[in-house]
Amino acid sequence: MDARYSLIPTVEKETDPVTLIVHRTEDTHEQLELLLAVEGAKTLKLVPGRDLNGAKIMMRAGASFSRHSGVRLSNGFNVVDPSAWHRQGIGTVALNLMIEWAKRLHPDADVRPVELKRYKQGIEGDDPRLAFYRRFNLQWNLADQDQDAVNLLSVPMTVRDLQTAPLSARLTRLP
């Protein structure tokens, strides 16, 4: 286990702090893979193959590097599951760790554009995912987006321009 955090969730029926566990399954020059799990939550059921030593895996996150295409801040599907646990700070912890990894190993590399599936035309400005990623200095020029595109793409940037985001006051790193 890499890190443990005390988390005071705002999830309905969760009245006590739980423990967020971050486990690095791979940390090399080319790849970072993380498992983020919650221990002690009353509303979560453990599922064989989806737990980490008795903690419910909420997110499998990762970043990778290619000398041809730069740093990718996703392993394809970085999403907290179940959705009732969105907005608890779990995604912020994961993305902060991916950015720290990229800055440590590849500060001058390009960041591959982050792709967000477009759900509805014309509501991009209100999309909470954009607000989340903007906290890390990722930007979208919505005026430049192809109106027929399936995905919204972030503006090109280098790893050096990324920033980590502050953690919620409900998260405290444990020793």
The 10s digit of each residue's pLDDT in 122-159 is 555 567 888 899 999 999 877 666 565 567 788 999 99
pLDDT computed for residue 163 by the predictor: 98
Q: How many whole angstroms separate alpha carbon 60 and alpha carbon 64?
A: 14
Q: What are phi and psi of 51, to 5 degrees?
A: -130, 165
pLDDT, position 141: 74
Report the chain's C-alpha Rg in angstroms: 17
Tens-place pLDDT, residues 58-80: 999 999 999 999 999 987 668 89
pLDDT (0 to 100) of residue 122: 54
In this prediction the pTM is 0.90
Domain ranges in the chain are: 3-163
pLDDT of residue 98: 97
Residue identified by tokens 């599951």 is 81
103-to-50, 108, 143, 163 alpha-carbon distances in Å: 30, 8, 29, 9
pLDDT at 130: 86
Closest CA to 159 of 145, 138, 141: 138
DSSP-based three-state secondary structure for 126: helix
Task: Dump pLDDT digits (tens) for 106-126.
Answer: 999 999 999 887 666 555 556
Which pLDDT belongs to residue 32? 96
User: Of the CATH numbers 3.40.50, 3.40.630, 2.40.360, 1.10.3470, which one belongs to the domain with range 3-163?
Assistant: 3.40.630
Residue 50 pLDDT > 90, yes or no? no
Six-digit token pair at 24? 């690095």
> What's the pLDDT score for residue 9?
96
Strands (E), 17-132: 18-27, 31-39, 51-52, 55-66, 70-72, 110-111, 115-117
Q: What is the rounded distance in angstroms from the CA atom of residue 175 to the CA atom of residue 59?
A: 22
Interstrand relation of 3-7 and 18-27 (parallel, antiparallel or unpaired):
antiparallel
Tens of pLDDT, residue by residue over 79-98, are: 899 999 999 999 999 999 99
**pLDDT for the residue 144:** 61
Residue 168 pLDDT > 90, yes or no?
Answer: yes
Give percent above pLDDT 70 in the chain: 87
Count the alpha carbons within 13 Å of 42 in the hemisphere toward its beta carbon: 10
Which among 49, 48, 38, 46 has a CA at the least distance from the CA of 11?
Answer: 38
